[in-house]
Structures are given as C-alpha cells and as structure tokens.
C-alpha cells in the first residue's frame, strides 16, 4: 500500500509543472495577440434564431446584437431576400425595450387550426404555422417577449410586455427593403382612401404611407399588414424618408394607454409569388377565433346601393326606396342599402318630433322589402353611435324594425380611443344581429374572423372617387383587397367620364374585388341599358368557395377567378393600351364552357367557347378595359352557365 504513493506525488508535481508552463505560454501569447482577439470579439456574430413553416416557405431570422443588445428580424424565401435585417423594439414609460437586451429562453409550438369564415376568398380555412417565443431582459430586469409566427404565406411578429411598464411611447420597429425593390404605396389618410402609386422603395417621396404596402424583391412579393388590432393599442402607419429603403412603424397616438400586461398587434408580412399573396388569408389566420357563437343570421349577398343610383336626391323617401326594392327583388339581389338622409328631416317625418322614430317610414320599407325577399341595410353616422345612450337607442330599434345591417361611416381615426369604440360596437351589433359595413374606416386587420358579422369595410379609394386611375384599379387586388373584404361599390355604369375604365371592366370589378356585401352602385336605368352586364350581376354570389389569381401585374392587369359551387366567376381589369389578353384558364381539369362579356364596337358583347382546363383564354380588351365571365363544367347539351 506504500508503493503507489510516491508515484501519485510525482504525477501531481508533473501536472502542476506542465500547467505552469502552459500558463506562462498562454500569457505570452495573449499579450502578443490581445488586439487581434479584441477585434474578433467585437466582430463576434450575434445570437440568431430562425423560424419557418417548411423548407421552401418564407423564413424569419431574428438576431440579437451582442454589443448593443438590439434585436432585428430579416425574412428570406428560397435563399432570396424578402426583408433585410430590420430593427425591432418598443418603448414604454418605465422601460426601453429596444436595446440592452439579453437572451433568456426560447419556446416553440405548432399552430394547427381549422375555421369557417362567413365571407372572404374562401369559406373553409386551414391554418398551419410554427410559433417561436423568445424571452429577453434588460440589465435592470425589464422583460420582453418577441413572438414570431411563420406560415407558408407569411411571417408575423408581436411584442408581449408584463404589467408595470406604463404607457407605450412608440416602437422602433421598421422594415428595411432593398432600395431598388418595386413599391406600390398609398399616401396615408385617416380614412385609408388614398390612391396607390408605383415607386421603388428608395424613390418614394418622404412622407407617411398606409401600412398596406406592397414590395417586390428577388424573393417575391411582400405585402405589409397588421392583424388583431384592438382598443388595447393604436393603429400604425409607415414613415419613409426618400433615398432609403426603410419604412418605420409610427403609431397614431404619441402615448398608448396600458393597464396591466400588453400584447401588441401582429406586424405581418404576407409573402410569396403574386398568386400566393393575392390568395392569402394570413391576416385572418393570425386573428383570434370568432366571438359570435351563432352565425346563422349572417348572410353575405349582393345589394342595390341607392346613393350613387339616385339616393342623393329623390332617393330618401319611402316611394323611391320601394322602387329600388322592387328592382332588387326582380333581379334576386338579396339586399337594398339605404344611404345617408333617411333619418334626417325629410318630407316623410320631422325629427324634431319626439316620436319621430315611431313615425319613420323605415319600418314600412323593411316590411315591404321583407315581403319581396329583400333585406334592408341602413347608413348611419358614427357620431350617432358614439355614446352608450345612443347605441342603446339605435341598435335595438333597428333590430326591432327588422333591419339586416348597418353601414357605419366617418370613424376617420386610427387612434386607440377609436379602436376602443370599435370593440364596443362590434360586440353590440353582434348582440343585436346586425351585419356591419364600415366606411371612413380602418383596414380589416383580421376583424372578419373575430367578428364575422363584419361583411365589408371601405378603406379604399372607391367608386365615388373622381381621381382614380386604371392603374390604381389594377393594384387593389394585390394590396387593399388582399387583407379583407373591400366595399369599393362597383357597377356604377352611369358614371361614364367619372370612372377611368370601360363598361366590361366595370362588370369585371364585381368579381375582381371581393366583398361580403357587394354593393352595386349603378342606377336601374344604367343596368337596363346594359342587359349583358345586368344579367351577369344577377348570377353573382358574394361568398366564395375558392379564389385564384389567373394573371396579374400590379398597376397593369389583374384577372381573378372565384368559385361558387361548380361555377367559376371571372373578373379581369387592365391599365394601358388595347390588346388581346391571354389568360390561363387554371380552374381545374376537364372541359369548361366559358361565357365572357367584353367591350364591343356597339356596347357590350358576349362570347362563348369550350376550353380545356389550363388552356389559354384569349379576349380582346380595349384601352383601360377588362372583361367578366363565368366558366362551368361542359358536357354535351350544356349551352349556358347562367341559371
């Protein structure tokens, strides 16, 4: 037992001697290479995390800079740039959560959901996303969670803050685009009714733009958007300085009031090829599930909108409105929309009379329309629904009369206080079984999934505008209408000289533009003068089983196909010179009877042909023109797609 001991002592002594020599060598080496090591440490790559749904789907790369503690997010697709590294961060009264962050932990989960919508590009939806939650803290202990979701058609992120940090003072969030990226932007307006114009990311003028901005890079197309915006936060817009590709997120409020913890809206990037972007339901998929348990009373449909059809003058009387109801009933249009003026002083009643609502002709009109199978939608100003007392007076009254929906106008604000009003009126219209069409409004930021009674929202430079261009009309399917139903009110055939397109293009808009309440803006006389367009409108539904982009280029052409049952409705709009358009009939295998309406030498003309699925449909298009059509399965004996 005494023999091993000396060996152990000698072994330890040798080890200590070797360690001392190594230490001396390391010290000498460190002294000689200290500057190089410091340089390597300074250049040390940041912490990075990636989130993607599948190999060829868009992927997010989140980075934490080890020097500044600042976060950034970049998006790529198939190895190509979509969004360059862009800053993340949020500023609160009690914490700066845009820098000085250190990583704590990561949590991943899969999101797999199914839901059925009441309107939109398709009724049945499947959601597959991968979600990563990254937790960070500052040196002072302030916490920030960054939640990132990745789907086949987009990337989104949001911030989660615990309670105790006070009001939000702003975000450092931004989107960095390659300077030469194509850009289709709408100058910001509180009613979101700006016209879209084309630039590059860097050449767009200095100013503020709507957050529904479309960009084209070598990674495809990307549409910026928001989802799940409620009264807990403030609406956003994009601020840009000419000469850069940076678009900063600016909030409508300089201070966002916060009680307790906060989860911000999603900042969404819908990305892919143009067909993927156009057909995306990403902003709906990000939103919370429906808060309306029984949706059986919510029925999308087409409507005769009487404002541009004559409602500005003689339309606000019982007799005139009954005539419009008669026309809607004759053409099986399920709704008639009575616009501004019906509840102000007219020759039918006097609102100075305390019993004026009892004396109103609206209940008579509703009864008259009901007997003919037509529902009534009424316009009402937001200022008449902005207090609890007014809502308690109006909404039950309209429900009792049997009104089917309300078209609420002139919110004209993206402030937190207005979104708190939206939260209230959405719950109350659902409780009173009133469908809703918002005008002078915010954008549909996922609202139609959570509150399916919202059939449509304006938030667009629409039919009433006299400054629209054909290029603007061909951009809307790739921008505004991507993110939710759009009440453009197409079909204003009588507005010759006030609209930039042809009659066939105007008919095509009723398909190219999706709206759960598709309000036709024409006069009965204008429809009767164009029987081909009128008969086409008679066929149209307002809820779709599927949507596909057949051909498109923002600002130049947009051809969409929307399916209802076995029939595909086609709508094409173009900007530019007359030409023969070539459109792939990508609606499925088999043989199809295709009936199209185009501009002829003496007015509208109709053509019929039988094509195989995937064949090219060729159609003559006039300058700034378009077409409308229906495709249905063909077999011997089938001569028309009309019912």
- Between the alpha carbon of residue 30 and those of residues 23, 34, 36, 364, 520, the distances in Å are 10, 5, 10, 93, 79
3-state secondary structure of 192: coil
- Give one DSSP letter per residue of 567-583, joined into a string: EEEEEEEE-SS-EEEEE
- Between the alpha carbon of residue 495 and those of residues 443, 488, 515, 523, 627, the distances in Å are 26, 14, 21, 10, 18
216: left (phi over 0), alpha (psi -120 to 50) or beta: beta
Catalytic machinery residues: 409, 464
- If we measure between CA atoms, which residue out of 421, 43, 122 comes closest to residue 281? 122
Spell out the residues 6+ positions from residue 627 whose beta carbon is closer than 8 angstroms to its own: 504, 505, 507, 508, 570, 571, 572, 581, 596, 597, 598, 619, 621
Alpha carbon distance 555, 549 (integer Å): 15
Helix H, strand E, coil C: the string for 19-79 is HHHHHHHHHHHHHHHHHHHHHHHHCCCCEEEEEECCCCCCEEEEEECCCCCCEEEEEEECC
Helix H, strand E, coil C: the string for 92-105 is ECCEEECCCCEEEE
3-state secondary structure of 505: helix
Exposure of 301 in the CB half-sphere (CA atoms within 13 A): 23
Query: Are the beta carbons of 551 and 514 closer than 8 angstroms?
Result: no
Spell out the residues 6+ positions from residue 253 whose beta carbon is closer than 8 angstroms to its own: 234, 415, 416
Query: Are the beta carbons of 59 and 51 closer than 8 angstroms?
Result: yes
Alpha carbon distance 463, 109 (integer Å): 44
- Give one DSSP letter per residue of 328-378, joined into a string: HHHTT--EEEE-TTTTSSBTTB-TTSTTHHHH-SHHHHHHHHHHTT-EEEE
């Amino acid at each position: 037992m005494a023999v091993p001991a000396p060996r152990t002592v000698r072994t330890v002594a040798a080890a200590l001697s070797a360690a001392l020599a190594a230490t001396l060598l390391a010290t000498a080496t460190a002294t000689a290479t200290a500057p190089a090591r410091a340089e390597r440490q300074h250049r040390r790559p940041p912490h990075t995390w990636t989130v993607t749904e599948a190999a060829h789907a868009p992927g997010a790369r989140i980075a934490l800079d080890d020097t500044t503690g600042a976060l950034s997010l970049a998006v790529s697709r198939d190895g190509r740039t979509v969004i360059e590294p862009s800053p993340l961060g949020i500023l609160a009264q009690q914490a700066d959560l845009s820098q000085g962050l250190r990583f704590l932990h990561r949590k991943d989960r899969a999101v797999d959901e199914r839901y059925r919508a009441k309107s939109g590009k398709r009724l049945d939806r499947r959601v597959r996303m991968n979600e990563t939650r990254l937790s960070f803290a500052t040196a002072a202990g302030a916490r920030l969670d960054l939640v990132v979701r990745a789907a086949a058609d987009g990337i989104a992120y949001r911030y989660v803050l615990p309670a105790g940090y006070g009001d939000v003072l702003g975000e450092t969030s931004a989107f960095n685009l390659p300077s030469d990226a194509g850009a289709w932007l709408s100058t910001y307006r509180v009613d979101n009714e700006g016209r879209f114009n084309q630039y590059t990311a860097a050449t767009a003028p200095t100013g503020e733009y709507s957050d529904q901005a479309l960009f084209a890079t070598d990674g495809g197309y990307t549409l910026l958007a928001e989802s799940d915006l409620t009264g807990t936060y403030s609406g956003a817009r994009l601020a840009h300085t000419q000469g850069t590709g940076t678009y900063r997120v600016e909030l409508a409020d300089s201070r966002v009031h916060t009680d307790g913890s906060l989860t911000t809206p999603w900042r969404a990037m819908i990305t892919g090829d143009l067909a993927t972007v156009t057909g995306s339901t990403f902003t709906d998929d990000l939103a919370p599930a429906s808060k309306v348990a029984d949706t059986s009373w919510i029925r999308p449909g087409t409507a005769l909108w009487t404002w541009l059809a004559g409602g500005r003058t003689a339309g606000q009387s019982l007799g005139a409105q009954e005539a419009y109801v008669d026309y809607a009933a004759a053409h099986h249009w399920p709704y008639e929309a009575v616009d501004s003026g019906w509840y102000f002083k007219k020759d039918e009643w006097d609102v100075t009379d305390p019993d004026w609502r009892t004396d109103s002709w609206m209940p008579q009109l509703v009864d008259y329309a009901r007997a003919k199978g037509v529902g009534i939608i009424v316009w009402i100003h937001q200022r008449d629904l902005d207090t609890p007392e007014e809502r308690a007076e109006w909404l039950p009254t309209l429900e009792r009369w049997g009104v089917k929906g309300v078209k609420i106008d002139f919110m004209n604000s993206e402030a937190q206080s207005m979104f708190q009003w939206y939260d209230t009126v959405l719950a109350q219209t659902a409780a009173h079984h009133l469908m809703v069409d918002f005008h002078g409004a915010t954008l549909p930021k996922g609202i139609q999934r959570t509150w399916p009674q919202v059939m449509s929202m304006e938030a667009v430079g629409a039919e009433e505008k006299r400054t629209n261009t054909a290029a603007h009309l061909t951009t809307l399917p790739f921008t505004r209408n991507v993110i939710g139903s759009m009440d453009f009110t197409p079909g204003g055939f009588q507005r010759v000289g006030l609209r930039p397109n042809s009659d066939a293009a105007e008919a095509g808009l009723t398909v190219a533009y999706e709206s759960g309440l598709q309000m036709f803006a024409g006069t009965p006389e204008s429809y009767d003068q164009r029987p081909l367009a009128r008969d086409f409108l008679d066929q149209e539904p307002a809820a779709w089983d599927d949507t596909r982009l057949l051909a498109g280029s923002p600002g130049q052409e947009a051809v969409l196909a929307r399916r209802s049952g076995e029939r595909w409705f086609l709508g094409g709009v173009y900007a530019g010179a007359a030409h023969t358009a070539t459109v792939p009939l990508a609606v499925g295998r088999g043989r199809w009877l295709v009936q199209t309406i185009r501009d002829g030498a003496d007015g509208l003309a109709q053509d019929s042909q039988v094509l195989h699925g995937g064949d090219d449909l060729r159609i003559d298009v006039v300058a700034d023109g378009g077409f409308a059509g229906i495709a249905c399965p063909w077999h011997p004996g089938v001569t028309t797609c009309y019912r």
